[in-house]
Structure formats: structure tokens, C-alpha cells
Structure 1
Amino acid sequence: MTGQLISYIAPGAPATRQPAAGDEPFVRPEIGFTPKWYRDAIGIDFGERWHLDISYRLESLALMRAELDRRFPGAQIGMPRYRPDVTDALTGVHGACVIAGIYGLPILYRAEQWPVTTGTPLTEEQIATLEPPDLDNSPFFDNLLEHVDDIAAKLGCAAGYINWQGVLNNAHRIRGEELFTDMFTAPELCHHLFNCVCTTMIDATRRLRERQCVSGFDVSFFTVSNCLVNLVSPELYKEFLYPYDRRIAEAFGTLGVHNCAWTADPYLDAYADIPHVAYIDMGLESDLARARHLFPNARRAIMYRPTELADKPMSAIERDMERIAGEFGPCDIVAADIESGTPDERVLALIDICRNLSGIGALR
């Protein structure tokens, strides 16, 4: 492993991160499509069977790989750069709902979308007595570990990445919208919930990684998904969430920070205080030059909105990429969640723009 992480969107899976290979292009596109894109194209059902049946998932991965190679020849969309010698049959399992599943939340699996949690959020009284689940006696986690073992038995190596999300995302699934009020009215309750979730994230990750390591797939990093961070002020982030992001970074030694396409400016100073940040992404409206200054050793990435790729004039997209390369490069361009209405020609054009800019960047 190098010291950086890069974006990674396996076919049929939400975006996550993987170790960098060390020879990434100056402007590297990472392209990803929604489950509906694949269902519309080749009829894959992303319901519960996709997440639990290894043979079915391997069949669907082969179909998705063939469709990507047919429509985007030579682009290597969705291909792992770390350990490309082994088949990734794990990334995407249970979507972003693994921690929620460990806490007993019902998960709804859907034919053309990623899983979501359902059910009633926990009450204040339930949160007050909440404890991290006993992972030695967790049916959901036991099944996940058995699934990893089954992948290793079938393929020889359990390669891939579980999407553990971030403390805020997971806590929101458990507590619901009341979480944001709790920060003002019941701060100790908030910290109790965040501590429970953070403890589970670290413990579950370590246990699962041990199983993967035995099979020959050894990685040690964590990526936190702070998709909801713009719903809290920078002051609330520093008080309530920063301590847990830092705790995770110290536990694993390498951290990726995912912010979706939000403007990351209000949180950059706090993020810069977290050790071992090896990847950080943000929206195009962020102060890119300042972010590059604050994170010179991390792989940086722009989350380029799928609506912009679908609707913007290509000349405007090219100008966006030129600005990103100049102010933010070297970096990834993460074009995730592309829907089936987006013409393939636009995806190919974005890849070509990044390739051309990488040639220019290499001369700097």
C-alpha cells in the first residue's frame, strides 16, 4: 500500500475508497453508475439475493463487467487498482447499511436501488440505555463474517471493502432527525450514541479485516462518510464529530474523508487537525486551492454531480475540469451515481478530458 487512498466504485456498489497504486494520473476519473443503470441495461436484480448469494453476485458482476467493457472499451471502469490480481466479490454487500444492520435496524433491499434502513428511530430513552452490540452474539454480523469466509473458500481470497459509513450517518439512521435537536438539548445523549457507534465501527472493522487477512487480502485503513456534515455547523462538527473521526484515524493509521458534493470549506480546518488523512473529497464550489494547501499529502477528489455530467454543455464541463486540475490537482474526479439517461458519449468525453489534462499535468 502507498500512503494515499483513491476513490473506488465497484460495479453495482456505492462509492468507497481503496489504496492508491502510486502511479495515478494527474486527473483521474472514477466513474460509477446506479443500480438502476445496470438494471435498465442488463436486467440485474439488486434485491436481497444480490447481497446474500455469492454465486448470483459473481454472475451479475461478470455481466456488469461485460457491459462496461462493451460500452466503454479500454476505460477500465470499476476496476480495482489495489490487488487487481484477485476478484472483488465483497464491495457493495449491504450497501451503506452494515452498522445499522448490526444495531438491529430492518434493511429494505430493492431491485434497482441500494439498500435502505426502515423502521422507527430509537427514542431518547432507548438511546440512553444503548450499548454497543455484542459482536460475538450478533446474527447480522455473524452472517457477514460467514459470507466473507464463503467468498474466501470459493475464490481463494476475500477481497473488497465494506462501506462502514461515518459516525454521523450511522447515528442518524439509528436516531433519525431528532439527532440534530439532541445536539442542543441533550449533548451527553449525543456523545453516548456517537461513542457506541464509533466503538462498533472500529471493532467490527478489525474483526472483519482479520478474516480477510487470513484469506490473503490485507488492508489497514478506514474511510468515513460524512454525507450529512453540512447539516451541522463547523462548531458542532468540532464538538460532536471531530473526536470520533480522530479516534478512527488513530485506530487505523490511514483515513479517507468523504463529504459528498457539499462545500467542505467550513470543515477543512478541523479535518486538517485529524492525523493520517490520506484522501479527502468535496464539491466543486469548495475553495480548492486552500484544500490543496491544507492536504498536500492526501489524494484529493472532486465529487462531480451526475446532473452536471448529464446536463451541462461539454464546453462548461471541460472548463470545470481545467479549473480543478489547476487549483486542486493531482486529484480524482468522482462521477458517481450516473443514471441511464446520461449518454455514454458524455461519460467517454469526460474520460478523454481527464486523460488530456493528465498529460498536461505531468509536464508541470
Structure 2
Amino acid sequence: MTNRIENTVKLPVDIVLAPEWWYYNEKITFDEDFFYHPLRRVEVEQQMEKALYERWGKYGLGEHRNEQRPEIGAVHLAAGFLLSEMLGCQVNYTEAHPPQVVAANCADLSIDGQKIFSSPAFKKMLKLWEGLKSKHGYLSGDINWGGILNLAMDLRGDSIFTDMMLEPEKVKDYFTQIAAVISKFTALMEEETKTTSISVNRLLRQFQKPVFLHSECSHTMISADDYEYFLLPFDIAWSKQHRPFGIHYCGPDPHRMAGQFAKIPQLDFLDVGWGGDVAVLRKYLPNTFLNIRLSPVDMITQNNEEIKRSIVERVKQSNSKTLTGVCCINIDEKITDEKITTLFETVEELRKETAL
């Protein structure tokens, strides 16, 4: 397998701050207007860029601080909710937290594909796009689109796992319908902005080619066999259609799926959730870019030396400066700036080492 990842620097590193951090430090609120009011979309994204530059500009953050960019989605957050809302779920917006999706607990395994793309949520999004494009002449960024099982859980709740046992063929068809919705939605974004997944992980902005990143947050709840039977075929198909192709696995056990991931002919990128065994994944995926995710919870309680040691250990397990990145996602207000600086400084030091 030839990796299609082309990063601008060795060992790219990035962070995503949680809404709680932004609310506490920058007084930014996350009501519905934050996501859908065209003027506020642009103003707040620029405010975020400036805040990042003031704290960590020397490490490459805040590069667009002097621009008013028509970002169609919250590219500084990890918040996937729009497709769930389009599919019929209720979404609750609050001041200091990300939008909360309420499981719809749908009665059956069926989806009305036409209804989704005429839903109030979709129309609301189109209105935003039209407002931004009429003023700025173009659109940028993207919207977190989640993943097949993530969306199935939003629609069916925990019942989807019973469905997988009792009605496997119907579930496969259901997943196919969800995948079709995702494909249509991401194609619309890609046509306008040329990206689909920066809002899933901001590290992707540092690559020369846009990565198509499938979120598999919920896969920690299924077996490797179930992944192979129900969901691996979609990853294989998408890896052939979208290059570079990647998987976002934020759970603590991505190594459980290593053998299955190795069956994807073109897995260019893998988000390795904290707790993931990097050495095992590298053994199975010698040519995949492994993005090492640090625990935002652990970073609060660790001292600077412990943070540094954790990063160095995991990067060395990956055993490749060109096929490794580091990030920490959903860092809340309890973290100190100094600890985030330690993250960046440690990666800077690793870049200078002649060998891992």
C-alpha cells in the first residue's frame, strides 16, 4: 500500500479545545446562532483563530487570524450533530457545551432518503451556505458528519445492537442507507470547499491533500468480528473512492481492530485513541499514518514531565516521523496553558532527534 498522506512537517501536532474551554476563556457561547448565523459564524471563527495565535502562535496555530473565512461548520470544535438532526433526531443547544443529540429511538430500520435532504435542518444549513457565499464569494471548512454506527445509534439507540444480533441482514441494509446519506452529504461539502473532515480532526488541515475521515467512536462497543461483518465493507469501499482515506477511532482499544484494519487496502490515516497500543497497530499497519491522541482527562492531572514522557513513549512506538502525528482533542477549561505548551514543545524536540 502506498500512503497518500503528504504532511507539510514531520510529526504534525494539533489540539481541539472543548466548548467549555472557549466559554470559560473567551466567553464564546454555543447556542444555535453560533452554528447557523452567517455573520456570527465568521466573527467567532476569527476570534478563535486570534485566541489560539495569542497563546500558541509560535507552533503554527491561528494562521488565519487576520482573515474572515466563511467556515460552513465549527472547524475548531469536535461536534458531530447535523446529520443526526437531518435524520430526525432532536438536538439541544446550550451556552457552554457542544450540541447534544437526543436518540430518536426509531421504531424500525428504515430511512427516507428524500425526506432527509428536504428536512428543516438541511434547509437551515443551505441558508447558511447561501448567506456566506453571497457575501464572501466562496465557502471554506466542513461539517462533522460522524459515522455509520454513530448515526445508527442516534437513530435506534441501544436497540441497534439487538438488531445486529436478531436481524443482521436488515441491519446491513440499514447501514447501506446511512452510508448513502453520508456519501451524498460529504459530496455536497467537497464540491463547495474541497474538504470533508477538518471538523473531525484539525490535524488534517496540515496535509496537502484532504483526508476523508470516517468516525468510528462507537466501535469500541462492538466486537472485531461484528466490525468485519457489518462495517468493514464500507471502509474498504470508501478507501477505494476517497484517497487519502482514514478512520477516526477515539476509543481506548483501536488495537482490537488491527487485524481488520489491515484488510483495508488503502488505510492512509488512523486516529489512535488514547490507550490504543501503538506498537501493535504499527505492526499491522506499517504504511498507515498513525495519529496518536492524548487523553485530555489525563493531561489535567499529569505534570509536565509525565505529559512529555507519554508523548515520547508513544511516538517512538509508532517508529516513523513521517507516518506519525500527535493531537489532543476536547481539552476543557481545567487544563493550563502551560501543559498544552508542553505538548507542543515535546513534539518540537522529537522532530529534532536524528532517530526515534
Please report the TM-score for the alignment, with normalisation by the length of structure 1: 0.84
2:95 matches 1:115: no
1:195 aligned residue: 176
> Is 2:78 the partner of 1:92?
no
How many Å apart are 1:155 and its aligned residue? 2.4
Quick one: structure 1 residues 40 and 283, their matched pair in 2 at CA, closer, same or farther if it must change by over 3 Å? same
Q: Report if the CA contact (8 A) 2:142-2:193 is conserved.
A: no
Asked if the contact 2:269–2:288 (Cα under 8 Å) also holds between the matched residues in 1, the reply is yes
Q: Distance in 2 between matches of 1:78 and 1:307?
A: 24
Matched, 1:320 2:305: no
Is 1:222 the counterpart of 2:212? The answer is yes
Do structure 1's residue 332 and structure 2's residue 325 form an aligned pair?
yes
Amino acid at match of 1:262: P
Question: Structure 1 pair 323/89, CA: closer, same or farther in 2 (3 Å)?
Answer: same
SS at match of 2:14: strand
Of residues 157, 167, 187, the one that matches 1:176 is 157
Superposition pairs for residues 133-172 of structure 1, below 5 Å? Answer: 133-134=114-115, 137-172=118-153
Q: CA deviation at 1:170?
A: 0.8
- The correspondence of residues 54-73 of structure 1 with structure 2, limited to 5 A, is 54-73=38-57
Q: CA deviation at 1:34?
A: 0.6
Query: Which residue of structure 1 lines up, in the alignment, with residue 288 of structure 2?
Result: 298
Structure 1 pair 360/32, CA: closer, same or farther in 2 (3 Å)? same
- Report the CA distance between 1:349 and its aligned residue: 1.3
Task: State the Cα distance separating 1:176 from its structure 2 match.
Answer: 0.4
Partner of 1:11: none
1:307 Cα deviation (Å)? Answer: 1.4
Secondary structure of residue in 2 paired with 1:320 = helix
Q: Judging changes above 3 Å, is the alpha-carbon distance between structure 1 residues 284 and 99 closer, same or farther for their aligned structure 2 residues? A: closer
Contact 1:30 1:78 in 2 (8 A): no
Classify 1:186/1:267 alpha carbon distance in 2 versus 1 (closer, same or farther; 3 Å).
same
User: Aligned residue for 1:250?
Assistant: 240
- Greater mean alpha carbon deviation, residues 192-201 or residues 318-327: 318-327
Distance 1:70 1:151 in 2: 27
| Alpha-carbon distance between aligned partners in 2 of 1:194 and 1:359, rounded to the nearest angstrom | 45
| Inter-CA distance 254–145: structure 2 relative to 1 (3 Å threshold) | farther
Using the alignment, how far apart are the partners of 2:120 and 2:292 within structure 1?
A: 38
Q: Which range moves more in the overlay, 330-339 or 137-146? A: 137-146
Percent of pairs with identical residues: 22
Segments of structure 1 that go 5 or more residues without pairing to the other structure are 6-19
Deviations 1:67-111 (A, max 9, x none): 22223342333658xxx9983612327931122122122221121
Task: Please say if residues 140 and 192 of structure 2, whose CA atoms lie closer than 8 Å, have aligned partners that are also in contact.
Answer: no
Equivalent residue of 2:113, what SS?
A: coil
1:171 partner amino acid: A
After superposing the two structures, state which structure 1 stretch, 153-162 or 284-293, moved more: 284-293
Deviations 1:190-220 (A, max 9, x none): 212211101110112112322336xxxx976
Question: What is the aligned partner in structure 2 of residue 101 from structure 1?
Answer: 85
1:114 match: secondary structure: coil
Aligned length: 336
Query: Following the alignment from structure 1 to structure 2, what is the Cα–Cα distance between the partners of residues 198 and 73?
Result: 38
Q: Give the whole-Å Cα distance in 2 for the aligned partners of 1:68 and 1:336.
A: 14
Instruction: Name 1:289's counterpart in structure 2.
Output: 279
Give the alignment's TM-score, normalised by structure 2.
0.85
Moved over 4 A (4+): 2-5, 218-221
Pair 1:79–1:181, CA change in 2 (3 A): farther
What is the RMSD of the two structures over their aligned residues, measured on CA atoms? 2.6
1:60 is displaced (CA, Å) by: 1.4
Structure 2: unaligned runs, 5 residues or longer? 195-207
Structure 1 pair 25/140, CA: closer, same or farther in 2 (3 Å)? Answer: same
